[in-house]
Amino acid sequence: MKKKYLFLFAFILLLPLHSSFGQSSYKIYNECIFDSTPGGRLIIDVNYPLIKNIQDISEQQKFNQYIEEIIKTEVNTFKGMVDTSYLPFPEMRFSFDIDYSVLYQENDFLSIVFHSYAYTGGAHGMPYVFIINYDFIAKEDVKLSDVFKGSYLEIFSNFSRTKLIENGFDDDEWLREGTSAVKSENFSAWGFNGKEIVIIFQAYQVGPYAIGMPEVSIPIEKFKGFIRSEGVLEKFAR
């Protein structure tokens, strides 16, 4: 019986980390920033991905520099928001955290979700999510308008609003405003997992803080006719 379980455990370890990952020749590795002021009144704990073993060294350097600049900006913005001399209680701490997960990885394309959380006082901290969709052919982080064309925002809007209502959200002004096709920034936190476009809504975007940051996944087939032929996602919509 022990041999059976050992074999099963070994088999699980050999499975890919994400079933929708494509093939990639480069490796992702974790970098971190940990900073604590004397007495631990301010704590920064940040994890972020860099790549290595890519054939084009300049391409590797460009991607890594791009990620490092984003992380540096996020950390410096947080530091500029706080003053530890105003902490009213000895046990109170300001804190800032970033972690990430890989949605999709292949040679041409990498989609990564970053979750950040900043506590600067008050009843609770503020979560925030941003997603990097890096096109290694174009050598840039692509935006919605780089990938989609036509009235694609209507698909984002109608599908996500319908799905959220199905999941128990009130069909109120808050939800309609947060999923409106008029504002492309409503869908700025988008990524791709190999089969679906993933949308994550920010805290307070479609409802009160208590609902968190809801996520909606839209099958790529829904966007047939709305994906640019020269875009990085074109091959997935055939």
**Residue 90's pLDDT is what?**
65
Q: Mean pLDDT for each consecutive 10-residue tract of the chain (238 residues)? A: 37 37 81 84 94 89 97 94 71 89 95 96 90 95 96 98 96 97 97 97 96 96 93 86
**Residue 238's pLDDT is what?**
72
Do residues 231 and 142 make contact, with C-beta atoms less than 8 angstroms apart? yes
pTM (predicted TM-score):
0.86
Report the sign of the C-alpha dihedral through residues 192, 198, 203, 204, in that order.
positive
The values of phi and psi at residue 161, to 5°, are -65, -45
**Residue 189's pLDDT is what?**
98
**Residue 122's pLDDT is what?**
75
**Residue 56's pLDDT is what?**
82
**Residue 226's pLDDT is what?**
96
**Residue 3's pLDDT is what?**
40
- Contact partners, residue 15, CB within 8 Å, separation at least 6: none
Domains (range + CATH), the chain: 16-141 (3.30.565.40), 143-238 (3.90.640.20)
**Residue 13's pLDDT is what?**
36
**Residue 22's pLDDT is what?**
58
